[in-house]
Amino acid sequence: MDNENIKRKSISGAKWTVLLSTLALPIGYVVNVILGRISPETLGIYALISVVVGFSGSFLLFGGNNVVQKYLPEIEDNQKIDFILTYSIIVTIISLLSILLMLIFPQILVYVTGSETSPDNGFYYIIILILVSIFFNLYTYMLSGLMEIKMASIINKITTYGNFPIFLFIFIFFPSYFLENNLHIIFLSFILFYSVGGLLAAVIVFKNVLKLKQENSTSSNIVTNFKLFLPKKFWSTSITVHLSTVMYYFSDKLDQILILNFFNLTQLGLYYAPLQIAILVRFIPSSLGNVLLPTFSNFLANNDLNSVKQWYSKIIKYNALITFPMAFIIIFFSKYILLLFGEEYLSNYYILVILTFLYSTGIISPLNNAIIIAKGKVQIYLLCEFLSIILGIIIAFSLINPLGILGLAIYRGLTIFNWQLITQEIVKRFDLQLKIDISYKIGVLISFICALIYLAFPYDNFFYCAFLFGISTISFLYLSKYKKEDIKFILTTILNRGT
C-alpha cells in the first residue's frame, strides 16, 4: 500500500476512533453508573468481565494484536488470506486445548477469577465468553492490520453501544430482577455482542483478502489454492510478543485479581468505579495507540521517518489537549462524580484523585509501544516489561496488607508512570529524533498541583471546584501555547465522522 493510501486510511481511522471513543465515554460511564447503583457487587461482575476477556486475549490469542498488526501490512496481498487462515488455525487449536484443560482442572480459572466463579457459579459463562471474545478480538485485530481502521473502531465499540440500552431498560423497569440475576444478564449480553461483532469482523476480513487474492492471482479457483503460510521469524517474534502480552495482562489486571482473591466482588465494584473514571483520561490516547501500530509499521517499512516524527509530535499535542482538561475536571469534581454511583462509593474519592493524576502522566506510552513493536524490538520490550512487572508485583504485595485497596490503587498508578518512563527511554535509543510537545510536560505539572490541592483541601463546594478547574485549564492552555485552530481541530475531529 502506498504512503498516500496509508495516510488517508490512517487519518480516516483516527477520526473515527476519536469520534467513537468520545461518544463511548459518556455511554460507558452511564453503564458503570447503572450497574454501580444496582449494587457494588453488580459492578464487580462487570469488572470480572474485563478480567476474563483480558485473560483470553492475553493467554490464548497467540501473539495478539501486535503480531497481527505488525505482519499483515508487510505481507504481499496475494498471501494475506493464507496468513489469516493459518493464524486462525493456530489460535483455534490453542484455544480449544486450553478450554479442555480448564474443564478438566477448573481450579486454574478460579485462581484468576476468585472463588465466587466456581463451577457452581458462573464458571461455564466464563468458558463461553472466553471463546467468543477470542473470535471477536482475532478478527477486529485483522481489520486494523488490513488498514480497515474505521470498521475496526466501529466494531470494537459494539459491546459498549449494545449493552447500554439493554442494561438501561432492565434498570428502569426491572431493577429488582436485575439485582437478583445480575450475573446472568451481564454475561449473556457480552456473549451476544461479542458473537455478533466477531462474525461481522470476520466477514469483512475475508471479503477484503479474497478480493486482494483475486486481483493478484492468475488462478480462477482462489479457495483451493490455500496453503499454510507464516512470514519469516514469525514464531520467534510471536512467542516473544505473546510473553509480553501475558506480562502486560498481569500488570494491568493484577490489582483486580488480588481483590477477587483477597476480598470479593463487592470490594472489586467499589474499587472499579474510581478506576474506570480515572481510565477515561487515557482512553483516547490508548485507543489511538492501538490503531496506529499498522500506521507506524507502514511508515517504517517505507523508511518514511518524517511522517513518523510529524505524527508522533502532533498526536501528543492533541492527546494532551483532550487529556489534561479532563483530568482537572475529574480531580476537582471527584466527589460529585462518585456520588452518582451511590454514597457507598464516596469514601474512595482520594483513590480517584491519585489514579487520575498518575493516569494522565501515561498518555505517550501507547505511541511508544506502537513504535517499539513496529521497529521489531520486541526482545527489549519484553525484558523491560518483565522488570517493570516484577517491580510492580513487589509494590502491590508490599502495599496490600497495610493499605488494602488504596495500596493497590497506588501500585496501579505507579505502574502506568513507570512504563511511560521506560518506553520513552527505549524510543530515544532508536534515534528517530522524536520530540515531546511542551504541552505534555506542562499538563503533568499542573495535574500534579491540582491533585495536591484537592487532597489537602477536599471541599464539597461546587463553585470552589469550578473556580479551581477554570484556573487550571486556562493556565494549561496559555502556558502550552495552544491556538484557536488546535481546539477547533479537536472539535471538528469529534463532530465530523471523516471519510
For residue 282, the model assigns a pLDDT of: 79
Identify the band that residue 448 occupies on the pLDDT scale cut at 50, 70 and 90.
very high
State yes or no: pLDDT of 99 exceeds 70: yes
Letter string b/e over residues 187-215, b meaning 16 or more CB atoms within 10 A of that residue's CB: bebbbbbbbbbbebbbebbbebbeebbee
Residue 76 near residue 303, CB atoms below 8 Å: no
Give CA–CA dist 28/428, Å, rounded. 36
State yes or no: pLDDT of 476 exceeds 90: yes
Domain definitions of the chain by residue range: 3-495
Query: Three-state DSSP class for 341?
Result: coil
Query: Which of 52-61, 133-142, 253-262, 443-452 bottoms out in mean pLDDT, i.e. has the lowest?
Result: 52-61
For residue 472, the model assigns a pLDDT of: 96
Query: Three-state DSSP class for 118?
Result: coil
CA–chain centroid gap for 190, Å, is: 17
Q: Which residue has the higher pLDDT, 355 or 316?
A: 355
For residue 497, the model assigns a pLDDT of: 43
The grid coordinates listed for 328 are: 482537572
Query: Which of 92-96, 183-187, 284-288 bottoms out in mean pLDDT, i.e. has the lowest?
Result: 284-288
Residue-wise pLDDT for 194-226, tens only, equals: 999 999 999 998 888 887 777 666 555 555 567
Residue-wise pLDDT for 14-71, tens only, equals: 667 667 777 777 898 899 999 999 999 999 999 999 898 888 888 888 777 777 877 7
Q: Name 80's Cβ contacts closer than 8 Å, sequence gap at least 6.
A: 72, 146, 209, 212, 213
The grid coordinates listed for 381 are: 520490550
Residue-wise pLDDT for 317-337, tens only, equals: 888 888 999 999 999 999 999
Q: In angstroms, what CA-CA distances link 19 with 39, 274, 297?
A: 31, 24, 24
For residue 3, the model assigns a pLDDT of: 57
Identify the band that residue 498 occupies on the pLDDT scale cut at 50, 70 and 90.
very low
Give CA–CA dist 98/467, Å, rounded. 55
Rounded percentage of the chain residues whose pLDDT exceeds 90: 35
Identify the band that residue 245 occupies on the pLDDT scale cut at 50, 70 and 90.
confident
- State the average pLDDT for the chain: 83
State yes or no: pLDDT of 136 exceeds 80: yes
CB atoms within 10 A of CB 224: 7
For residue 12, the model assigns a pLDDT of: 66
Query: Which of 50-64, 326-340, 386-400, 461-475 bottoms out in mean pLDDT, i.e. has the lowest?
Result: 50-64
Identify the band that residue 75 occupies on the pLDDT scale cut at 50, 70 and 90.
confident
CA–chain centroid gap for 152, Å, is: 14
* Half-sphere exposure in the Cβ direction for 323 (13 Å, CA): 33
